[in-house]
Structure 1
Amino acid sequence: MNRNYRMRLYMKDHLPLYLFVSVLFVMGVVFGALMVNALSPGQKEEMARHINSFIQIVNQGSEFGGQTTLWESFSLHLKWIMLIWVLGLSVIGLPLIFLLDFLKGVLIGFSVGYLVGSLSWKGMLFAFVSIAPQNLIVIPALVMCSVGACAFSIYIVKNRFIQKRGALYPMFVRYTSMAFSMAALLFGVALFEAYLSPVMIKWVTPMLVAQAG
């Protein structure tokens, strides 16, 4: 109960940061989706060819995913977490944290926007099974890490440089523990991407190929 109370208090105290980071991410998604319109017809055709080729390969029974995908996916997620964590320690890294959140939104918005815009309902279905599930966890995890990093940076400035009071070590431990918790959560996401996402993609590819034909 005490832990739940502290969590609610933490969320309440940092609600403006959560709102700001979330809005920044949404702006990135919108910007990424709009970027699709900036692609030339040749670029769109080339990307569509790669996607259709991948769908055909999967439909023919080729194996993908597994341990290699697990570690590649987890390594990518871990790099985002570690970079945000380091920027939170640096104090001057706050703008870069916000930039990372915006760029993450751009990447997701562009990917989904391209798939839907170029492949119609096929793209929506493909995005639903290949992009959406893991990002339901990845996005909140990155938002929490970003807010934690911003809060720690603000704490350093306020309590060490301005007021010059307050113990830094307990806050550092909580901040680092939060980052490790999010990393562990994203390892679970990497497991999903490596072993369950390929199954979902294989399940829908016959429908995509049938529509393409």
Structure 2
Amino acid sequence: MNRNRSLQNYLKEHLSLYIFVGVIFVTGVVFGTVMVNALSLEQKQEIMRFLGNFFSSVEQGDFTDVNASFQQSFALHIKWILIIWVLGMSVIGLPLILILDFLKGVLIGFSVGYLVGQLSWKGLLFALVSIVPQNLIVIPALLICSVTAMAFSIHLVKHRFMTRKGAFYEPFMRYSGTILLSGALLAGVALFEAYMSPVMMKWVTPMLITMAQ
């Protein structure tokens, strides 16, 4: 009962922030999708050549070093949330957190938009196995970290003149705990990307290689 009440209070206090951050992220996705249409023919051809080489590498099994893949993937994810964590401890970092969420949306929107726009349903299939699965966890984790960081930053502004230990220590521990939990989830995502993503991509790359050449 207490947990349910705490969750309800948490959602009530932070719902507006979640909506705001969600809108920023979705705006980034839309912007990234629109960017695909702004590419010149030469740029589209260059990206397609890169994709052709990437598809061939996947087909040949070049992504078999799971340790290196895990390290690269986890490093990328953990750097992202650590930047958010640092920015949350400074008031001036608050708008930068929103910029990060917007850029994340742009990256996903552009990637999926380009694949679908150039490769039709086969591009959508590739996006479903290479982009969507991990982002079902990555995106919520980043949004939760962003909202928690913004809430902590706002707390600092409201209580900047308070000297009581509890005014900073307890919110900081909750804030850091959320970041650590998200880091653990992203470690699991990195394992998935290292072990499962290459296998799933290899299922669909044969039908894409000829289209990308």
TM superposition score category, shorter chain reference: over 0.9
Asked if the contact 2:112–2:124 (Cα under 8 Å) also holds between the matched residues in 1, the reply is yes
In structure 1, the residue matched to 2:19 is: 19
Asked if the contact 1:65–1:195 (Cα under 8 Å) also holds between the matched residues in 2, the reply is no
In structure 2, the residue matched to 1:90 is: 90
AA aligned to 1:204 is V
Matches within 5 A, 1:122-133: 122-133=122-133
In structure 1, the residue matched to 2:198 is: 198
In structure 1, the residue matched to 2:77 is: 77
CA deviation after TM superposition for structure 1 residue 204, in Å: 1.6
1:106 equivalent to 2:119? Answer: no
CA deviation after TM superposition for structure 1 residue 50, in Å: 1.4
Q: 3-state SS of the aligned residue for 1:110?
A: helix
Q: 3-state SS of the aligned residue for 1:151?
A: helix
CA deviation after TM superposition for structure 1 residue 121, in Å: 1.4
In structure 2, the residue matched to 1:177 is: 177
Greater CA drift, 76-85 or 46-55: 46-55
Q: CA separation in 2, counterparts of 1:47 and 1:65?
A: 25
Q: 3-state SS of the aligned residue for 1:58?
A: helix
Asked if the contact 1:22–1:143 (Cα under 8 Å) also holds between the matched residues in 2, the reply is yes
Q: Where has structure 1 moved over 2 Å in runs of 4 or more? A: 1-5, 56-65, 163-166, 206-213
AA aligned to 1:89 is M
Output the TM-score relative to the length of structure 2.
0.93
In structure 1, the residue matched to 2:44 is: 44
- Number of positions where the alignment pairs a residue of Structure 1 with one of Structure 2: 212
CA deviation after TM superposition for structure 1 residue 194, in Å: 0.4
- Provide Cα deviations, 1:70-108, integer angstroms capped at 9, x if missing partner: 010000000110000000001211110111100110011
Q: CA separation in 2, counterparts of 1:203 and 1:180?
A: 34
Asked if the contact 1:65–1:198 (Cα under 8 Å) also holds between the matched residues in 2, the reply is no
Output the TM-score relative to the length of structure 1.
0.93
AA aligned to 2:80 is W
Asked if the contact 2:48–2:212 (Cα under 8 Å) also holds between the matched residues in 1, the reply is no
Asked if the contact 1:65–1:193 (Cα under 8 Å) also holds between the matched residues in 2, the reply is no
AA aligned to 1:146 is S
Q: 3-state SS of the aligned residue for 1:160?
A: coil
- Provide Cα deviations, 1:163-202, integer angstroms capped at 9, x if missing partner: 7776210010000000000011000000010001111111
1:145 equivalent to 2:152? Answer: no
- Provide Cα deviations, 1:133-172, integer angstroms capped at 9, x if missing partner: 10111000000000000000111111224x7776210010
In structure 1, the residue matched to 2:157 is: 157
Task: State the Cα RMSD in Å.
Answer: 1.8
Q: CA separation in 2, counterparts of 1:155 and 1:175?
A: 11
Q: Which runs of 5+ in 1 are unaligned?
A: none
Q: 3-state SS of the aligned residue for 2:196?
A: helix
Q: Which runs of 5+ in 2 are unaligned?
A: none
